[in-house]
Amino acid sequence: MIRKTWIHILLGSIVLSWAGCSREHVAQGEDHGHVHTGEEGENAHEHETDGTEKITPGPNGGRIITSVTPNIEFLVRDDRSVQLTFVDEHAKPIEATDAVVSLVGGDRSDPTELTFAVEENTLVSSGVLPEGEVVGVILTIQAGPEAAAVIERFNVDFATCSGCQLVEYACICNH
Ligand SMILES: [Zn+2]
């Protein structure tokens, strides 16, 4: 019961953040005088305050999740299963750790829950993402069985970004 409510709150906030997504990034002082080249400007990340972090593409074209150590690349395979690859600080694949990951996604009235198991050197989901061009997901990641859970919420948007040509969920240009 409690868990279900929690999921609803999280899914609700995904919808809200999606709806509130805006292309306007207001420059944060200091940086004035900087001219956008169109190539590498606009790299301000919504959740960053220091502005130092650059968005690195994943080794397989997926989205790098930086809230956990080691970082994890999130990639949806052709069959819509999810592949998680552990990467070092240079986004190079490393061996899978004993991290425990679960995913809840899709329609909040009938969410899909996926677990992950080690396959080769990656974690692969027990099932596939639900249908849809945009699927909201919540990843719960524990670096180890005893570690505190880190929660990542984002939309898996399968459209191709016109800026960096990656799928939108892995976009590195904030287009
Ligand atoms: Zn992009």
- Distance of CA 160 from the midpoint of ligand 1 (Å): 8
Domains of the chain: 2-20+54-170 (2.60.40)
Six token digits for residue 125: 């989901």
pLDDT at 59 over 70: yes
Q: Which of 107, 111, 116 is nearest to 82 (CA)?
A: 116
- Distance of CA 170 from the midpoint of ligand 1 (Å): 8
Q: Which has more confidence, 144 or 81?
A: 81
- Distance of CA 155 from the midpoint of ligand 1 (Å): 14
pLDDT at 77 over 80: yes
Question: Would strands 71-76 and 63-65 be described as parallel, antiparallel, or unpaired?
Answer: antiparallel
Residues 128-147 have pLDDT tens digits of: 999 999 999 999 999 988 89
Dist CA 172 CA 164 (whole Å): 7
Residues 3-37 have pLDDT tens digits of: 554 444 444 444 444 443 444 444 444 444 444 44
Model's pTM, two decimal places? 0.70
- Distance of CA 169 from the midpoint of ligand 1 (Å): 9
Residues 38-58 have pLDDT tens digits of: 444 344 344 444 444 568 899
3-state secondary structure the chain: CHHHHHHHHHHHHHHHHHHCCCCCCCCCCCCCCCCCCCCCCCCCCCCCCCCCCCCCCCCCCCEEECCCCCEEEEEECCCCEEEEEEECCCCCECCCCCCEEEEEECCCCCCEEEEEEEECCEEEEEEECCCCCEEEEEEEEECCCCCCEEEEEEEEECCECCCCCCEHHHCCCCC
